[in-house]
Protein backbone atom coordinates (compact mmCIF):
# COMPACT_ATOMS: atom_id res chain seq x y z
CA UNK A 1 0.00 0.00 0.00
CA UNK A 2 1.37 3.41 -0.94
CA UNK A 3 2.14 5.49 2.12
CA UNK A 4 2.72 9.19 1.94
CA UNK A 5 4.04 10.41 5.26
CA UNK A 6 1.62 12.62 7.11
CA UNK A 7 3.37 15.85 8.05
CA UNK A 8 1.91 18.23 10.59
CA UNK A 9 1.28 20.81 7.90
CA UNK A 10 -1.14 20.20 5.05
CA UNK A 11 0.06 18.84 1.72
CA UNK A 12 -1.48 21.05 -1.01
CA UNK A 13 -0.43 18.74 -3.88
CA UNK A 14 -2.06 15.72 -2.26
CA UNK A 15 -5.10 17.81 -1.38
CA UNK A 16 -5.52 19.06 -4.96
CA UNK A 17 -5.30 15.56 -6.46
CA UNK A 18 -9.06 15.51 -5.90
CA UNK A 19 -9.56 19.14 -6.92
CA UNK A 20 -12.92 18.62 -8.63
CA UNK A 21 -14.47 16.62 -5.81
CA UNK A 22 -13.23 19.15 -3.24
CA UNK A 23 -14.24 22.27 -5.17
CA UNK A 24 -17.76 21.28 -6.31
CA UNK A 25 -19.30 22.17 -2.90
CA UNK A 26 -17.89 25.73 -3.22
CA UNK A 27 -19.39 26.01 -6.71
CA UNK A 28 -22.76 24.84 -5.37
CA UNK A 29 -22.68 27.07 -2.28
CA UNK A 30 -21.67 30.15 -4.29
CA UNK A 31 -24.39 29.47 -6.88
CA UNK A 32 -26.99 29.87 -4.12
CA UNK A 33 -25.66 33.20 -2.83
CA UNK A 34 -27.91 36.02 -3.92
CA UNK A 35 -25.66 39.11 -3.83
CA UNK A 36 -24.90 41.05 -6.99
CA UNK A 37 -21.99 43.32 -6.06
CA UNK A 38 -20.33 42.45 -2.75
CA UNK A 39 -17.71 45.07 -1.85
CA UNK A 40 -15.48 42.58 -0.10
CA UNK A 41 -15.28 38.85 0.66
CA UNK A 42 -13.24 36.74 3.08
CA UNK A 43 -12.55 33.03 2.41
CA UNK A 44 -11.80 31.46 5.80
CA UNK A 45 -9.65 28.31 5.52
CA UNK A 46 -8.96 29.08 1.88
CA UNK A 47 -6.48 26.18 1.55
CA UNK A 48 -4.55 26.34 -1.74
CA UNK A 49 -7.02 28.91 -3.10
CA UNK A 50 -9.37 26.56 -4.96
CA UNK A 51 -12.49 27.82 -3.18
CA UNK A 52 -11.28 31.44 -3.40
CA UNK A 53 -10.95 31.18 -7.18
CA UNK A 54 -14.62 30.28 -7.48
CA UNK A 55 -15.42 33.46 -5.53
CA UNK A 56 -13.11 35.46 -7.82
CA UNK A 57 -14.78 34.00 -10.94
CA UNK A 58 -18.24 34.93 -9.69
CA UNK A 59 -17.35 38.41 -8.34
CA UNK A 60 -14.20 39.56 -10.20
CA UNK A 61 -14.63 43.19 -9.05
CA UNK A 62 -14.85 42.44 -5.32
CA UNK A 63 -11.94 42.76 -2.91
CA UNK A 64 -11.26 39.17 -1.84
CA UNK A 65 -8.91 37.89 0.84
CA UNK A 66 -8.11 34.25 1.63
CA UNK A 67 -6.91 33.30 5.12
CA UNK A 68 -5.56 29.97 6.37
CA UNK A 69 -3.27 28.90 9.21
CA UNK A 70 -1.30 26.47 7.04
CA UNK A 71 1.93 28.02 5.66
CA UNK A 72 2.07 25.30 2.98
CA UNK A 73 -1.48 25.98 1.78
CA UNK A 74 -0.95 29.77 1.70
CA UNK A 75 2.34 29.35 -0.15
CA UNK A 76 0.60 27.22 -2.79
CA UNK A 77 -2.20 29.80 -3.10
CA UNK A 78 0.40 32.59 -3.49
CA UNK A 79 2.30 30.61 -6.14
CA UNK A 80 -0.80 29.75 -8.18
CA UNK A 81 -2.67 33.04 -7.77
CA UNK A 82 -0.06 35.75 -7.01
CA UNK A 83 -2.45 38.56 -7.89
CA UNK A 84 -4.77 37.64 -5.01
CA UNK A 85 -4.48 38.61 -1.34
CA UNK A 86 -3.54 35.77 1.06
CA UNK A 87 -2.83 35.81 4.78
CA UNK A 88 -1.58 33.19 7.22
CA UNK A 89 -4.06 33.53 10.07
CA UNK A 90 -5.83 31.40 12.66
CA UNK A 91 -9.56 31.35 11.99
CA UNK A 92 -10.19 31.13 15.73
CA UNK A 93 -8.73 34.62 16.12
CA UNK A 94 -9.30 36.55 12.94
CA UNK A 95 -7.31 39.71 13.31
CA UNK A 96 -8.84 41.86 10.59
CA UNK A 97 -10.42 45.16 11.46
CA UNK A 98 -13.00 45.09 8.69
CA UNK A 99 -16.48 43.73 8.00
CA UNK A 100 -17.29 41.74 4.87
CA UNK A 101 -20.31 41.51 2.61
CA UNK A 102 -19.63 37.79 2.23
CA UNK A 103 -17.97 35.70 4.94
CA UNK A 104 -17.33 32.38 3.20
CA UNK A 105 -15.88 29.13 4.46
CA UNK A 106 -15.76 25.80 2.64
CA UNK A 107 -14.74 22.56 4.39
CA UNK A 108 -12.97 24.30 7.26
CA UNK A 109 -15.09 24.99 10.34
CA UNK A 110 -15.06 21.29 11.30
CA UNK A 111 -11.43 21.91 12.33
CA UNK A 112 -12.47 24.75 14.67
CA UNK A 113 -13.80 24.22 18.21
CA UNK A 114 -16.98 25.47 19.91
CA UNK A 115 -19.32 26.41 17.10
CA UNK A 116 -21.68 28.38 19.31
CA UNK A 117 -18.88 30.86 20.01
CA UNK A 118 -17.41 30.56 16.51
CA UNK A 119 -20.68 31.55 14.83
CA UNK A 120 -20.91 34.61 17.07
CA UNK A 121 -17.36 35.59 16.07
CA UNK A 122 -18.13 35.05 12.38
CA UNK A 123 -21.30 37.13 12.69
CA UNK A 124 -19.16 40.06 13.88
CA UNK A 125 -17.25 39.88 10.60
CA UNK A 126 -20.44 40.20 8.52
CA UNK A 127 -21.34 43.70 7.30
CA UNK A 128 -24.80 45.21 7.87
CA UNK A 129 -26.05 44.05 4.47
CA UNK A 130 -23.85 40.95 4.39
CA UNK A 131 -24.11 37.20 4.80
CA UNK A 132 -22.29 34.13 6.07
CA UNK A 133 -21.97 31.11 3.73
CA UNK A 134 -20.52 27.85 5.04
CA UNK A 135 -20.12 24.21 4.03
CA UNK A 136 -18.83 21.41 6.26
CA UNK A 137 -18.54 17.66 5.75
CA UNK A 138 -20.82 15.41 7.84
CA UNK A 139 -17.95 12.99 8.30
CA UNK A 140 -19.38 11.05 11.25
CA UNK A 141 -22.59 10.27 9.33
CA UNK A 142 -20.59 8.32 6.75
CA UNK A 143 -19.65 4.62 7.20
CA UNK A 144 -16.01 5.54 6.69
CA UNK A 145 -16.02 8.29 9.34
CA UNK A 146 -17.80 6.05 11.85
CA UNK A 147 -15.30 3.27 11.23
CA UNK A 148 -12.21 5.52 11.57
CA UNK A 149 -13.55 6.77 14.88
CA UNK A 150 -14.14 3.19 16.04
CA UNK A 151 -10.68 2.02 14.93
CA UNK A 152 -9.06 4.96 16.72
CA UNK A 153 -10.62 3.79 20.00
CA UNK A 154 -9.85 0.08 19.74
CA UNK A 155 -7.47 -1.61 22.15
CA UNK A 156 -4.53 -1.46 19.77
CA UNK A 157 -4.68 2.26 18.93
CA UNK A 158 -6.48 4.00 21.75
CA UNK A 159 -3.34 5.15 23.59
CA UNK A 160 -2.42 7.28 20.57
CA UNK A 161 -5.63 8.08 18.76
CA UNK A 162 -8.63 7.78 21.10
CA UNK A 163 -9.06 11.54 21.43
CA UNK A 164 -8.46 12.53 17.82
CA UNK A 165 -12.16 12.39 16.84
CA UNK A 166 -12.75 15.19 19.30
CA UNK A 167 -10.56 17.50 17.21
CA UNK A 168 -13.47 17.67 14.78
CA UNK A 169 -16.53 19.75 15.63
CA UNK A 170 -19.52 18.83 13.52
CA UNK A 171 -23.16 19.39 14.48
CA UNK A 172 -26.42 18.67 12.69
CA UNK A 173 -28.74 21.09 10.86
CA UNK A 174 -30.92 21.50 13.96
CA UNK A 175 -27.95 22.86 15.97
CA UNK A 176 -26.85 25.28 13.23
CA UNK A 177 -30.42 26.47 12.64
CA UNK A 178 -30.90 27.27 16.35
CA UNK A 179 -27.60 29.16 16.57
CA UNK A 180 -27.98 31.04 13.29
CA UNK A 181 -31.60 32.05 13.78
CA UNK A 182 -30.58 33.84 17.01
CA UNK A 183 -27.93 35.83 15.12
CA UNK A 184 -29.30 36.46 11.61
CA UNK A 185 -32.64 37.45 10.09
CA UNK A 186 -32.59 34.86 7.29
CA UNK A 187 -31.27 31.29 7.34
CA UNK A 188 -31.09 28.64 4.63
CA UNK A 189 -29.75 25.15 5.39
CA UNK A 190 -29.40 22.09 3.21
CA UNK A 191 -27.46 18.85 2.85
CA UNK A 192 -26.07 17.18 -0.24
CA UNK A 193 -24.83 13.64 -0.59
CA UNK A 194 -22.14 13.84 -3.28
CA UNK A 195 -21.54 10.51 -4.98
CA UNK A 196 -17.88 10.68 -5.96
CA UNK A 197 -17.03 8.29 -8.79
CA UNK A 198 -13.50 7.09 -8.12
CA UNK A 199 -11.13 4.78 -9.97
CA UNK A 200 -10.55 2.35 -7.12
CA UNK A 201 -11.00 1.69 -3.42
CA UNK A 202 -7.45 2.99 -2.93
CA UNK A 203 -8.60 6.32 -4.33
CA UNK A 204 -10.93 6.67 -1.32
CA UNK A 205 -7.95 6.18 0.96
CA UNK A 206 -5.88 8.65 -1.05
CA UNK A 207 -8.71 11.19 -0.89
CA UNK A 208 -9.10 11.11 2.90
CA UNK A 209 -5.41 10.63 3.74
CA UNK A 210 -4.75 14.33 3.28
CA UNK A 211 -7.89 15.43 5.22
CA UNK A 212 -10.05 13.36 7.61
CA UNK A 213 -7.44 10.65 8.21
CA UNK A 214 -4.54 13.09 8.59
CA UNK A 215 -4.84 13.92 12.33
CA UNK A 216 -5.08 10.20 13.21
CA UNK A 217 -1.94 9.31 11.24
CA UNK A 218 -0.10 12.23 12.81
CA UNK A 219 -0.55 10.69 16.25
CA UNK A 220 1.18 7.46 15.23
CA UNK A 221 4.87 7.17 15.83
CA UNK A 222 6.25 5.30 12.85
CA UNK A 223 5.53 4.16 9.32
CA UNK A 224 4.70 0.63 10.43
CA UNK A 225 1.90 1.90 12.69
CA UNK A 226 0.63 4.32 10.06
CA UNK A 227 0.44 1.52 7.49
CA UNK A 228 -1.28 -0.81 9.98
CA UNK A 229 -3.85 1.86 10.90
CA UNK A 230 -4.49 2.58 7.21
CA UNK A 231 -4.89 -1.16 6.54
CA UNK A 232 -7.68 -1.33 9.10
CA UNK A 233 -9.35 1.68 7.50
CA UNK A 234 -8.90 0.07 4.09
CA UNK A 235 -10.71 -3.08 5.28
CA UNK A 236 -13.76 -0.89 5.94
CA UNK A 237 -13.42 0.74 2.54
CA UNK A 238 -13.35 -2.69 0.88
CA UNK A 239 -16.51 -3.71 2.73
CA UNK A 240 -18.52 -0.49 2.49
CA UNK A 241 -17.58 0.77 -0.97
CA UNK A 242 -17.70 -2.16 -3.41
CA UNK A 243 -16.64 -2.03 -7.05
CA UNK A 244 -19.30 -1.15 -9.64
CA UNK A 245 -19.81 -3.36 -12.70
CA UNK A 246 -17.41 -1.20 -14.72
CA UNK A 247 -14.70 -1.31 -12.03
CA UNK A 248 -15.33 2.18 -10.61
CA UNK A 249 -16.10 2.80 -6.94
CA UNK A 250 -18.82 5.10 -5.59
CA UNK A 251 -17.88 7.16 -2.54
CA UNK A 252 -20.96 8.94 -1.12
CA UNK A 253 -19.90 12.03 0.85
CA UNK A 254 -22.40 14.02 2.92
CA UNK A 255 -22.06 17.75 3.31
CA UNK A 256 -24.05 20.39 5.19
CA UNK A 257 -24.46 23.95 3.89
CA UNK A 258 -25.85 27.13 5.33
CA UNK A 259 -26.31 30.73 4.24
CA UNK A 260 -27.35 33.25 6.90
CA UNK A 261 -28.02 36.89 6.15
CA UNK A 262 -28.38 40.09 8.19
Positions that interact with ligand SAM (CB under 6 A): 10, 22, 26, 45-47, 50-51, 68-70, 73, 90-92, 106-108, 111-112, 211
The least distance separating ligand SAM from the CB of residue 155, rounded to whole angstroms, comes to: 30
* Min separation Cβ 29 and ligand SAM, Å: 9
Strands 249-261, 186-198: pairing kind: antiparallel
Select 70 or 157, whichever has its Cβ closest to ligand SAM.
70
Instruction: Compare residues 108 and 179 and give the one whose CB is closer to ligand SAM.
Output: 108
Indicate the residue among 153 and 171 with the shorter CB distance to ligand SAM: 171
Q: Give the CA distances from residue 259 to residues 49, 107, 177, 180, 219, in Å, rounded to whole numbers and listed in that order.
A: 21, 14, 10, 9, 35
Q: In angstroms, what is the minimal distance from the CB of 9 to ligand SAM?
A: 8
Question: In angstroms, what is the minimal distance from the CB of 84 to ligand SAM?
Answer: 13
118 vs 157, which CB is nearer to ligand SAM? 118
Q: Least Å distance between CB 33 and ligand SAM? A: 15
Which CB, 46 or 260, lies closer to ligand SAM?
Answer: 46
Shortest Cβ distance from residue 90 to ligand SAM (Å)? 5
Which residue in the shown chain puts its C-beta closest to ligand SAM?
Answer: 47
Our CB check for ligand SAM shows the closer of 144 and 157 to be 144
Amino acid sequence: MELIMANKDWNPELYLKYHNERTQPSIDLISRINFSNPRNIIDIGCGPGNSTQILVDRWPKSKIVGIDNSPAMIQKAKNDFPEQEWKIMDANNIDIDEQFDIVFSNATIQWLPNHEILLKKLKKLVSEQGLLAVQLPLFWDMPLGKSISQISRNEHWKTFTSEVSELFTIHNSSFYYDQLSKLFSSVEIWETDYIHILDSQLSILAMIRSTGLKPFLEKLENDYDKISFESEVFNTIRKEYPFQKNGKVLFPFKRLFFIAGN
